[in-house]
Each structure stands twice: as C-alpha cells, then as structure tokens.
Amino acid sequence: MTRKESRLDSALTVLRGVGPALAQTLQRLDLYRVEDLLFLLPLRYEDRTTLVPIGSARPGMRCLISGEVLLAETVYRGRRSLLVRISDDSGQITLRFFYFSQQQQLQFQNGVRVTCFGDVRAGPNSYEIVHPEYRILREQQEPEVDDALTPIYPMTEGVQQGRLRNFVAQALGIMRSEAPAELLPEEVLQDLSLPKLDAAISYLHQPPQDVDLASIEAGNHPCQVRLSFEELLAHYMSLRNLRNLAARESAHALLDKSGLQERFLAALPFALTNAQQRVVAELKADLQVAHPMMRLIQGDVGSGKTVVAAIACAQAVSAGVQVAVMAPTELLAEQHMRSFSDWFQNLDIELAWLSGSQKQAERRASLAAIASGQAKIIIGTHALFQDAVEFANLAFIVIDEQHRFGVHQRVALRNKGKEGGKHPHQLVMTATPIPRTLAMAAYADLDTSVIDELPPGRQPVTTIALPESRRGEVVERVRQACAKGQQAYWVCPLIDESELLDYQAAEASFEILTDTLDTLRVGLVHGRMKNTAREKVMRSFKAGAIDVLVATTVIEVGVDVPNAGLMIIENSERMGLSQLHQLRGRVGRGAAQSHCVMLYKQPLGQLARNRLAVLRQTNDGFLVAQRDLELRGPGELLGTKQTGLPEYRIANLVRDAELMPLVQKSAETIQQRFPDASRAIIRRWLGNEHQYGKV
C-alpha cells in the first residue's frame, strides 16, 4: 500500500462508530483524518492499573475500587438520588447517582459485585463517589485492571470520553500496521537523540505503569519533545515560506521623489532619537527595493514607533502610492488619525478614515476617496480589508499591535494591494517587546527592528504596590497631584459590579471618586460607551478639562496625554505583567516625574507578588516581557487567545523555547534538501492553514 493510500489519510468515517454527523462534530477538535487522532494527545492520565481497597480510599483520591452491593435505595433528601452501598473485606463506601433510570437501579441487586472508578469525597454519613464509572461483574468474574494508564482527552459537546478513547484506540491499531511517515530526516533525529514518531505517539497515548508522570506533566519527556519539535518546525517553516515568497515577489520601489519625507522630518517639532533614526534608515532602505518589505518594529511604550511609521508613509506617498494604516481597536485607530492629521496637515496630503461604526454617508465618501486615489493615507480598523474597500494603488501597509491580528488577516489586507504582479510592502509594530526565542517562533516571516531608546527628557515612572486598605491615602495623593496641575488615570478591570469577579468596577469607582474628590473634575470612559461619547471624554481629558479619568483597560493603548502624571490601577494582582506595563506607559510622557500605584487585594498570592515585584524593579519593557513569558506563558504576551499567533496543539513556546535554535537549524536543512518533507510536515500540523504561505 502506498503512503497516499494509507488509511491514516482517510476521513474519520472509516472508523467504527463514526458517521457523517459525528465526523462533523469531531471537527471542533480539529479532527478531520484518522491521523489527526494520533496527534490529539491526552490532557492527563488516570491510574486504573491498581485496585484500591475500599478501606484505603480517602477524600480527594481518584481510584478504582470493587465490592459487593449491600443495599440500593432511592432517597429524597433535598433532591432525588440513588444510593448504592458496596463493601469489600476492608470497608464500605456509597455510590451516589442523581441521574438514573429504574432499569439502572435494578442492576444493583444485593450480592452483585461491581467495579467502579471516580472521585472519593466525604458524604453525610460516610465516604462516597458521585456518578462513578462502573461495571457490573458476572458471577465468578474477577475485577479487571488496565495494563496502561488511561488517557483523558480534550472534549467537545456531543462526544463522550469513552467514545473518543475508542476512536483513538482504532487509530493506534491502524498505525501499528501502517506507521505514519517519519518526516524528520535521520540526521536530525540523531542530532537531537529523539525517538521515532510512531514510538513516541504510542507511548504518550498508552503510557506504561512505571511511566515518569512528573516528566510528562512538565512536558519534557523525550516522546513529548519529539512531537513538540516537529510542531514548532511546522509553524516556523510555514512562516519562513511567507518570507521566501516575499523575496521572490515584486513590489514598487518607493523613492522620495517629491522630497515629502524630507519636508515631513523638517516640520517635526522634536528631534528623533538615535534608535528612531536607525530604524528610519532601515525602513527607507527596504522600501527602495523592488521586493516587498516585511518588517517588524518592536518598541517599548512611548518610544516613538508611530512617528517612525509616519516617516515611512511619507516616503511611500512621495513615490505616488497609497498607504493603509490598520489598528486593532477604534480607540487606537482614532489616536493614529489625530497624530497623522497633525503631522501631515501642512503638507497637503489627504487622509481617509474607515471603521465599522462609521455613518453610511461618511463611509461612502471615504470609499470613494480611497477608490479614486484622492486619499493617500487611509487609517482604520479591520474594516480596511473588507470586500467593499477598493484601493487605487495600495503599495504600503502599516499594522499596529501586530499580535492582535492573525496571519490570515494580514494576508487579506495584503491582497488589496496586489496589482500588476506587484505586492505591497508591510510594516508591523508592537508595543509588547518579544523575547528573542519567542520572536523566532512568532515572527519568523519578518525582519525585526528595535527602538530601544526613549525620547530625551523622559523620566522613568516610579512604581509602588499598595494594599487596597490604603485606598484613602491614594485618593488624597490624587487630590494633591491634581491641585498642582497634574492629571491622573484611575483604571478598573470591569465596567459594572460582578457577582462572579470581586473587582472594583469602573462605574462604582467613578461615583465614589466624584463624591470624594468633589473639587476635581472626574470623567469616565469604557468600552461600552458609544464612540462619540468616549471620544468627547478623551478629548476633554487631553485638553485638561478633566482632572481624573476613571477608565477600564481600553486606555491600555492609544492615549497620549503628556500632562497625565499619575496612574492608579485597581486589582493589579489580577492582571498580566505586560498589560500592567502597557497601562503604566500611559504616564511618564511629559518632562515631569510620573508615578504608578498598583492597588491589590489581600491576601496576595505568590504569582501575583512576583508580578508586582517585577514592575517595581524595572521600567524596561524587554525585561518585563521576559518575566511575563516565564510567569504567564505566551498566550498573554502574544494574544493567542485572539488571533495573533496560531494555537499549538502540543508545543509550548515558554517550555520549549530552548528548542528554537535547533528548529531554525533543522528547518534550513529540511527546506533546502528535503522540500517534500517540509511540505508534508506543514500539512500534518497546520492542515490547510499553511495555504497563507502560498498566496
């Protein structure tokens, strides 16, 4: 049988018990082919290899027991339930069922022997197991124990754990006669001392009794490393395909023909830092080449990324093409619109605004200006890459907060600029500094520039953490700062009071502060407000008409008020390091000393204590990012819960960071010498997602 005819490549419907409807349900777990089941690794394992005497069972244990039925009765104490009392030579225990049928009750006749598995807990009169998995034993039948640990798989509605386990077992049976292709070259496997693919898969689905569970739970068992390595390799090679594709494609060579970039620089009311000048030079060189630029700018909050992007935009407009600037939220897009309008207002360059909340008349006018080429710089949200938007000659794309967008969204906007065989240049920016090993995996398709210097005159923000019991002192500090002409932010995680989350809500804080700070002007802004209302409050704050702005985390990015010198953050113990650092970056934008106060609720857990300690010790965004990565993982740092970085099935970018240099080295070898293996690895782990590398 050839590889193409392998049953591992077949649809799931070839398995016993899988019909078309169930196959569609299984797609929610990214299961399409039989082979996909092999890479659906267990979340954890249960030990059903040993029979525990009933007398040894204790609350908190999850164990396998067996005994003889002494009594089965239906009781009505609060709610109807079936109680089954079983015993062995060592003791007795109760099985409790809230959902049961009469036929089920009749199974538990006195003297019948039963084996069951579940969580032991303390009941009203004795230990009990609620809704155990159980099996009625035939006469003379001995209880059975498993030879290997029992895997527990990720679940989706409509598929029970037992059925999923059965489907995986069928896939493993097929694998034993038709092993999945070993796609890693032998030399790579030898260099890394990794086990073969089929051996690693079999071991992780059915680990033996003597398995080192601590190693598996830590994710560093050699069999896990074997699969994590190949998955990291697939993602990395897919992104490298994008980069290699760009190197072969054509783009407009953007030269400053009219001197617009020089006039823009001359009109700036401030001097660029050395870091900004270095990055401007890198962008200028990239844009002058007739191949699409694909560059990432990393820069801490307040480092001046936006003006660097605007300088590059001036070069593109001077070359006679259009520019699109995309931000993830309307608030941030509006901030860019204001900044660009200020910088370009005396240079006779028309800007257009596009967002999902625009009124129809305004939207039609923007679309017409974009399609005609009259609008040179178009700023907006994801609305920029919708089908109705037609550009006249889009040749340069700027994307802010790159980790909020997925690769597919970037490609959708990129396709707006495909014209005459040419592709647009791309610049993406992030205010979340990314540690090197993580950047290798997340942004392998991009060249990277770093703005690692703050504008002159900026003083580091002093940061302290205080228990909320000292709220009164903090309020008084706000009163004193505002009396001296400063402004303050008061940030709360939620808008309304919540029964589930004991957070200090923004609206409650607004009412309290308005009453307490009766001589000050207090404003409120949050994500549920209409854009016009929110914009009015933000403008008032920026103009100095509001002293204290109570806000949710919508002000994390996109707000620049140099006179704001005090940041108060409620419930700081519940926020991630990078988010806290972003919020702190809203102050310290003027020449005066600024301060950040992180209020927390006691008792403070060790993880929260560690996070707050990092903020007190450093203002360096790269150090903050590294610690955030170590403490919380890449999901918080890169926004994988949104769309920015593909979800990993097995690999973990923090745990497996040390593999990335080896991934880079192996990817180069495989893509150069084994191109078929490269394509097969990407298909195995990403399915059709890797198509974005072929656009």
- Does residue 15 sit in the same domain as residue 108? no
Is 638 part of a structural domain of the chain?
A: no
Tell me the pLDDT tens digit for each residue of 470-513: 999 999 999 999 999 999 999 987 655 555 555 557 888 999 99
Is 551 part of a structural domain of the chain?
A: yes
Tell me the pLDDT tens digit for each residue of 534-559: 878 988 998 899 999 999 877 755 56
SS3 538: helix
- Does residue 162 sit in the same domain as residue 138? no
Confidence (pLDDT) at 16: 96
Parent domain of 358: 257-451
Is 630 part of a structural domain of the chain?
A: no
Q: How far apart are CA 486 and CA 483, in angstroms?
A: 7
Confidence (pLDDT) at 364: 94
Confidence (pLDDT) at 507: 86
The answer to whether residue 622 scores a pLDDT higher than 70 is: yes
- Does residue 441 sit in the same domain as residue 346? yes
Q: How far apart are CA 486 and CA 543, in angstroms?
A: 12
Q: How far apart are CA 418 and CA 402, in angstroms?
A: 21
CA dihedral 413, 419, 421, 424 (to 10 degrees): -40
Q: How far apart are CA 163 and CA 10, in angstroms?
A: 19
Confidence (pLDDT) at 418: 75
- Number of Cβ atoms within 10 Å of the Cβ of 196: 14
Confidence (pLDDT) at 689: 53
The CA distances from residue 574 to 318, 370, 477, 501, 612, in Å, are 47, 43, 23, 10, 10
Which residues, including other chains, have CB under 8 Å from residue 75's CB and lie 6 or more apart? 81, 83
Mean pLDDT rounded to a whole number for the chain: 87
Range of lowest pLDDT (181-190, 417-426, 513-522, 638-647) = 638-647
The answer to whether residue 75 scores a pLDDT higher than 70 is: yes
Confidence (pLDDT) at 690: 46
Among residues 424, 451, 478, the one where a domain terminates is 451
Which string of DSSP letters, residue by residue, matches 134-185? EEEPPTTPPPP--SBPEEE----TT--HHHHHHHHHHHHHHHHHSPPP--S-
Q: How far apart are CA 618 and CA 622, in angstroms?
A: 10
Is 269 part of a structural domain of the chain?
A: yes
Percent of all residues in the chain with a pLDDT value above 90, rounded to a whole number: 54
Tell me the pLDDT tens digit for each residue of 367-383: 999 999 999 999 998 88
The answer to whether residue 452 scores a pLDDT higher than 80 is: yes
Tell me the pLDDT tens digit for each residue of 660-678: 889 999 999 999 999 999 9
Instruction: State the average pLDDT over residues 231-243.
Output: 90
> For residue 91, what is the domain's CATH number?
2.40.50.140
Q: Do the Cβ atoms of 449 and 286 come closer than 8 Å?
A: no
State how many domains the chain has.
5
Band (pLDDT 50/70/90 cuts) for residue 639 is very low
The answer to whether residue 409 scores a pLDDT higher than 70 is: no
Is 166 part of a structural domain of the chain?
A: yes
For residues 368 and 140, the model is more confident at 368
The answer to whether residue 3 scores a pLDDT higher than 60 is: no
- Does residue 418 sit in the same domain as residue 522? no
Measured distance between the N- and C-terminal CA atoms of the chain, rounded to whole angstroms: 33
Instruction: State the average pLDDT over residues 557-582.
Output: 84
Tell me the pLDDT tens digit for each residue of 180-195: 989 998 888 888 888 9
b or e along 508-534 (b: 16 or more beta carbons within 10 Å of the residue's beta carbon)?
Answer: bbbebbbeebeebbbbbbbeebeeeeb
Which contiguous run of DSSP H or E holds residue 50?
none
Q: How far apart are CA 422 and CA 285, in angstroms?
A: 18
The answer to whether residue 688 scores a pLDDT higher than 70 is: no
- Does residue 358 sit in the same domain as residue 492? no
- Does residue 583 sit in the same domain as residue 489? yes
Among residues 451, 486, 501, the one where a domain terminates is 451
Confidence (pLDDT) at 693: 44
If you ran DSSP here, which 8-state letter would residue 554 be given?
G
The answer to whether residue 417 scores a pLDDT higher than 80 is: no
Q: Do the Cβ atoms of 640 and 634 come closer than 8 Å?
A: yes
- Does residue 272 sit in the same domain as residue 193? no
Q: Which residue has the tokens 């569970």?
A: 213
Among residues 88, 115, 145, the one where a domain terminates is 145
Q: Which residue has the tokens 């689905």?
A: 205
Band (pLDDT 50/70/90 cuts) for residue 166 is very high
Range of lowest pLDDT (78-82, 118-122, 554-558) = 554-558
Confidence (pLDDT) at 407: 63
Is 576 part of a structural domain of the chain?
A: yes
- Does residue 92 sit in the same domain as residue 166? no
SS3 112: coil
Band (pLDDT 50/70/90 cuts) for residue 640 is very low
Band (pLDDT 50/70/90 cuts) for residue 636 is very low
Instruction: State the average pLDDT over residues 245-259.
Output: 90
Tokens of 403: 């980790």
- Does residue 339 sit in the same domain as residue 487? no
- Does residue 206 sit in the same domain as residue 279? no
Which range of 42-56, 274-288, 548-562, 563-577 scores highest in mean pLDDT? It is 274-288
- Does residue 306 sit in the same domain as residue 399? yes
Instruction: State the average pLDDT over residues 28-37.
Output: 91
The answer to whether residue 637 scores a pLDDT higher than 50 is: no
Helices (H), 557-605: 577-584
Range of lowest pLDDT (193-202, 397-406, 655-664, 680-689) = 397-406
Pairing of strands 127-130, 91-97: parallel
Range of lowest pLDDT (57-71, 89-103, 211-225, 413-427) = 413-427
Confidence (pLDDT) at 405: 63
Which contiguous run of DSSP H or E holds residue 625?
helix 621-632
Is 52 part of a structural domain of the chain?
A: no
Is 628 part of a structural domain of the chain?
A: no
Tell me the pLDDT tens digit for each residue of 300-350: 877 889 999 999 999 999 999 999 999 887 778 888 998 999 999 889 999
Of 451, 452, 434, the residue nearest 443 (C-alpha): 434
> For residue 466, what is the domain's CATH number?
3.40.50.300
- Does residue 203 sit in the same domain as residue 241? no
